[in-house]
Amino acid sequence: GKPRVWISRPTFPDIVARLEPYFEVTAEPEETAFMPAALAAKLAPCGAAIVGLKERIGAAEVAGAPALRIVANLAVGYDNLDIPALTAAGILASNTADVLNESVADYTWALLLGAARRMDAAERWLRAGHWHATGFKAWLGLDTRGRTLGILGMGRIGQAIARRAAGFGMRVAYHNRSSLPAAIEAECAARYLDKPALLAESDFLVLAVPLTAESRHAIGAAELAQMKPTAVLVNIARGGVVDDAALAAALGEGRLAAAALDVFEGEPHVHPALLALDNVVLSPHIASATWDTRRAMTAMAVDNVLALFGRGPHAGRPPSPVNPEVLARRPAP
Ligand code: GLV
Ligand code: GLV
C-alpha cells in the first residue's frame, strides 16, 4: 500500500491534499500535546511525519518506526529534533528555512515598538476604563530614532530585521559566531561587534539565534548586567536563549527598561514573575503566524516529503534538508 504520512497539527487541507495521490495521510484534527509513548505510537507505522515544535523526537521515538524516512518540521528552528539520532537512523529532517523570514522580521518590529511605546499596558489601561485619568505625561515611551539596534544572531532572519531599521533611523550592530561578508554588512548597514560591546551599546537588543548548547542562556544575569538600564530586550528566537528568571528580576528591579517576548523557557509555561510585570510584552510564539507564511511553511514541509519519495516538483531534491548527509547515503528511489 501507500506509505503513511502523519501530520501532528491542524494545517491547511488544500495544501496537504498534494500528498494524497501518493500517501495515506492522517492529520490530527486538533492541537494535541503528545506524550513520548503516544508520539512513538503515531510515528510507528509512518514513512513520513510532518510535525511542530511541540513534538520532541529522538532515538526513543523513532526506534519503533522502521519505515520512517523523513521528519518535516513546521518551523525553521529544529531544537525539538535530535538530529544526530535521526541521522543515525537514516531519517531526513527538514525545516522551513527562509519562507518565514519577512513575517518574523515584521513581527519583531511589532514587538519592539510595542514594548518601546507600552502599547499592551496602555491598552489594558484603556480597557479597564482609566482613560479619563491619562495625562500628558502618561505612557511616555522610548524613541527608536538615532538609537542602536543590536542583533544577536545574524542569519537570514536577523538580516531581515536589520534591513527594516533604516526606516526608523537606527544604527545597527550585530554579533554572530562569525562576521558576515562585507556585501551583506553593507546591505544591512550593520557593523560587527563582539558580544560584550553589543550588550553595552544596544538600546534595543533583538535575539535571533537558534537554540544550541552554546546559545542556551546566552542572556543570563551576567549579560543583563552589561546592558543599559534604559535598554529593551526582544526575544523572537527560543526561550532557552534567555534565563527568564534573571530577566524578570532585571525588569522588576529597573535594571532593564522593558522586554518583548514571543518565546519562553518550557513553553507553554510562562515564568510567573514575567506574567506579574507590566513592562514586558508577551505573545504565544506567533512570530511566523500570518496566513501567507503558515501556508508557505506547510507547502515547504509537503514539498520535502514529496521530494524524498521522488514525487512532486523537487523529486529527489528536498528543498530544505537539515541533515543532507542522509540523502547522500540513501539516494531517492
Ligand atoms: C519558530 O519558532 C520556528 O522555528 O519556525
Ligand atoms: C496628538 O495627538 C497631538 O495632536 O499632538
Domains of the chain, first to last: 4-99+291-329 (3.40.50.720), 101-282 (3.40.50.720)
Please tell me the pTM assigned to this model: 0.96
Residues β-bridged to residue 148: 171
CA torsion through residues 319, 325, 331, 333, sign: negative
Whether the CB of 208 sits within 6 Å of ligand 1: no
Say how far apart CA 19 and CA 17 lie, in whole Å. 5
Give the pLDDT confidence score for residue 216 in this predicted structure: 97
User: Which ligand is closest to the CA of 289, given by its number?
Assistant: 1
Q: What type of residue is 46?
A: C
DSSP secondary structure, 148-206, as one string: EEEEE--SHHHHHHHHGGGGGT-EEEEE-SSPPPHHHHHHHTEEE--HHHHHHH-SEEE
Q: How far apart are CA 181 and CA 203, in angstroms?
A: 25
d(CA 241, CA 114): 21
Rounded-to-integer distance, Cα 174 and Cα 58, Å: 33
Q: Which residue, judged by its Cα, is nearest atom 3 of ligand 1?
A: 75
Does ligand 1 have an atom closer than 6 angstroms to the CB of 288? yes
CA distance 83 to 110: 33
Q: Is the ipTM above a cut-off of 0.85?
A: no
- CA of 162 from ligand 1 middle (Å) equals 19
CB of 317 within 8 A of CB of 30?
no
Quote the CA–CA distance of 259 and 278 in Å, as a whole number: 10
Q: Is 11 a pocket residue for ligand 1 (Cβ < 6 Å)? A: no
- Looking at the CA of 136, name the nearest ligand: 2
Cα 237 to ligand 1 centroid, rounded to whole Å: 8
The ligand placed nearest to the CA atom of residue 52 is: 1
For 218, the grid coordinates are 546566552
Q: State which residues of the chain have pLDDT below 70.
A: 330-333
**Do the beta carbons of residue 36 and residue 61 sit within 8 Å?**
yes
Classify the phi-psi angles of 254: left when phi > 0, otherwise alpha if psi is within -120 to 50, otherwise beta.
left
For the Cβ of 76 lying below 6 angstroms from any atom of ligand 1, the answer is yes
Task: Name the residue at shortest CA distance from atom 1 of ligand 1.
Answer: 75
The pLDDT of residue 134: 82
